[in-house]
Amino acid sequence: MSMGLPGRVGLEQRVLPMYRAAFFDSLARSLPGTLSVFAGSPAPEEGIPQAEQLSVARWTRAGNRRLGFGRFSLLWQSGWRQWIEAADPEILILEANPRYLTNERLFGWMQARGRPVIGWTLGPARAGKTFSRFLLSYYQKYSALVVYSGSGAKGFQNLGIPAEKIFVAPNAVESATAEALQARPNAREAARAALALGPSPVILFVGRLQPRKRVESLLHACARLQAPCQLLIVGDGPDRARLERIAAEVFPAARFTGDLRGETLGRCFLAADLFVMPGTGGLALQEAMLYGKPVAAAEADGSQKDLIREGENGWLLPPGDEAALQRILREAFADPRRLEQMGAASRRIVREKATMEKMIEGFLMAIRFAARRMEKKT
């Protein structure tokens, strides 16, 4: 092993979204050998833009088969045996979800060879007392666990997992596009002109359009503001048609752009005065902060608590509380100078807390820890 890192690492995911490709390639560059990724395609109704390829890591396509419906569905990934035998990983990283049936087969293959398995997850699944015992047993099987946030790590500690086995790798996005766009002269004014936006404040939402994102509450909150504002809703998904009908009734000024990427998406971030994420989260929060935007977000995957400092760079929203959301919007736009200062704080905080380098280092620490444990056993 080079610098405590194995030559061959395997990594399983349910799907490989476009926004994750840069991380996998960056992680592959940080390893002395190969990173082999096994991931399938999202269902059409999920609206997840899938990566087309990986340039450094090796991607084998899994055949995803969903068994059952909704939150209680199970996942089977065909082709797992051919992949793992060809990749022959010294360490395996799994998306740690007890509903993924193939994981047990992958676990068994690794355990038969005395090789460690690392789990990657938001945090422990929520469960009652009886199911918590099952979850503890499930998560204890992993040599190490990687989570996005301090609250995810705390959740595992509360469940009974030793702190030494838990590593935080903050969810992060590639920052080159944001840095390049912001370096251009009059970048914000040019972005607003390109989007044909007026002078009133611009609120931005970016994400998949589905009920758990609570975009409907954002539409209602904007409609109730006394001062004029503009709302950009960037993204696509199964809830778009319903949201467009609601917008036509309560806030016709809302603009639905569909799914945007690259510089086109970057212009939306540049033009915004405030980024709002009223429901479950995503990497758009970190991206908004890279563009120097104040943020208002519900506590979704736990990373919001690590990134949002109340009153300094944004607000934590009580989930589903439209009155609180409306109050925060009024407060945000009451003092434009303070809002600009909060945006500068966002940029500073995300660079301190959630860069791609820090995410990679979290994974490398977990890999080294698992490798050391394997060496001690042998």
Q: What is the pLDDT along the chain (378 residues), one digit of tens a residue?
A: 556 799 999 999 999 998 899 999 999 999 999 999 999 998 887 778 889 999 999 999 999 999 887 667 899 999 999 999 999 999 999 999 999 999 999 999 999 999 999 999 988 877 666 667 888 899 999 999 999 988 889 999 998 999 999 999 998 888 888 899 999 999 999 999 999 999 999 999 999 899 999 999 999 999 999 889 999 999 998 899 999 999 999 999 999 999 998 899 999 999 999 999 999 877 899 999 999 999 999 865 556 778 899 989 999 998 778 899 999 999 999 999 999 999 999 999 999 988 899 999 999 999 999 998 877 766
Q: Give the per-residue pLDDT at 291.
A: 96
**Cβ neighbour number for residue 273 with a 10 Å cutoff:** 21
How many whole angstroms separate alpha carbon 164 and alpha carbon 143?
Answer: 10
Distance CA 268, CA 257 (A): 10
Tell me the backbone φ, ψ of residue 36, rounded to 5 degrees. Answer: -110, 120
* Residue 174: per-residue pLDDT: 80
Model pLDDT, residue 319: 79
Residue 134: the pLDDT is 84
* Domains annotated on the chain, with CATH: 8-172+355-377 (3.40.50.2000), 176-353 (3.40.50.2000)
Angstrom distances, CA of residue 336 to CA of 109, 229, 333, 343: 58, 13, 6, 11
User: What are 285's two structure tokens?
Assistant: 């929060």
Give the pLDDT confidence score for residue 320 in this predicted structure.
Answer: 79
Cα separation of the two ends of the chain? 14
Q: What is residue 336's predicted lDDT score, i.e. its pLDDT?
A: 92
Say how many CA atoms lie within 13 Å of 25 toward its Cβ. Answer: 13
E strands present in the chain:
8-15, 34-40, 58-61, 63-67, 74-78, 91-95, 117-120, 144-147, 166-168, 202-206, 230-234, 255-258, 274-277, 295-298, 314-317
pLDDT at residue 79, as a whole number: 97
pTM of the model: 0.86
**Identity of the residue numbered 364:** L
Burial class (CB in 10 A: 0-12, 13-18, 19+), 68: exposed
